[in-house]
């Protein structure tokens, strides 16, 4: 039975989504094509009908995951975003959490194409955060961008450090708590 063009596109999107989840959970080197295709409900041989190589899938799944990360934060103000991002739930939900926190370390060892995909995702995230900061009206574009780069790096780094600790480690929670408190402090209205 022939697969329609629409079904082939839906199958490809399903493979990309499955890869995005699996890569965030296990890293790029921790997922083989055969395991990925089985998890997506397809045969290993069907992979090459959709992608030229695993690297092509890695790039596409990274773009998908980075877009999902951005969509998950849509509608949240900065304080809500920080509270959610630096939570134990986000830390423990690696497969459905932020692609940057799960895969930046892996991406640094990948091709220039994958690094460019991450750079685009980081830029898109910064643009959203900058707009929110500029909407407050108290800073210029350069200051807003610098502040958001700092905050994004602190948030991603905190999750990465926390995940590097054993799950039941008090340090894992302490890292999240200290960084969450530090990031939320400047967002609180001044007391009179």
Helical pair 54-72 and 5-26, crossing angle rounded to 10 deg: 80
pLDDT tens-digit series, residues 62-120: 999 999 988 888 888 888 989 999 999 999 999 999 999 999 999 999 999 999 999 99
pLDDT tens-digit series, residues 7-22: 889 999 999 999 999 9
More confident residue, 169 or 1: 169
Cα gap 161→158, rounded to integer Å: 5
The CATH class of 53-187 is mainly alpha
Domain boundaries, the chain: 53-187
Residue 46 has pLDDT above 70, yes or no: yes
C-beta separation of 23 from 103 below 8 A: yes
161-175: average pLDDT = 96
Cα gap 78→169, rounded to integer Å: 28
Determine what percent of the chain falls in helix, strand and coil, rounding each to the nearest 5: 75, 0, 25
Highest mean pLDDT (candidates 33-37, 74-78, 143-147): 33-37
CA dihedral 130, 135, 138, 142 (to 10 degrees): 30
Predicted TM-score (pTM) of the model is: 0.89
pLDDT band at 192 (very low <50, low <70, confident <90, very high): low
């Amino acid at each position: 039975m022939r697969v329609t063009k629409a079904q082939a596109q839906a199958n490809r999107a399903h493979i990309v989504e499955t890869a995005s989840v699996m890569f965030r959970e296990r890293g790029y080197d921790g997922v083989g094509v055969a395991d990925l295709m089985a998890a997506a409900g397809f045969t290993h041989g069907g992979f090459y009908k959709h992608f030229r190589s695993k690297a092509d899938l890695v790039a596409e799944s990274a773009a998908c995951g980075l877009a999902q990360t951005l969509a998950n934060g849509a509608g949240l103000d900065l304080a809500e975003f920080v509270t959610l991002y630096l939570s134990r739930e986000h830390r423990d939900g690696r497969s459905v959490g932020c692609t940057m926190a799960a895969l930046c370390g892996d991406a640094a060892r990948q091709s220039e194409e994958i690094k460019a995909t991450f750079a685009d995702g980081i830029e898109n995230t910064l643009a959203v955060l900058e707009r929110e900061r500029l909407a407050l009206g108290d800073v210029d574009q350069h200051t807003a961008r610098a502040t958001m780069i700092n905050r994004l790096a602190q948030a991603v780094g905190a999750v990465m450090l926390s995940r590097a600790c054993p799950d039941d480690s008090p340090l894992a929670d302490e890292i999240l708590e200290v960084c969450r408190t530090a990031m939320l402090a400047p967002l609180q209205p001044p007391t009179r």
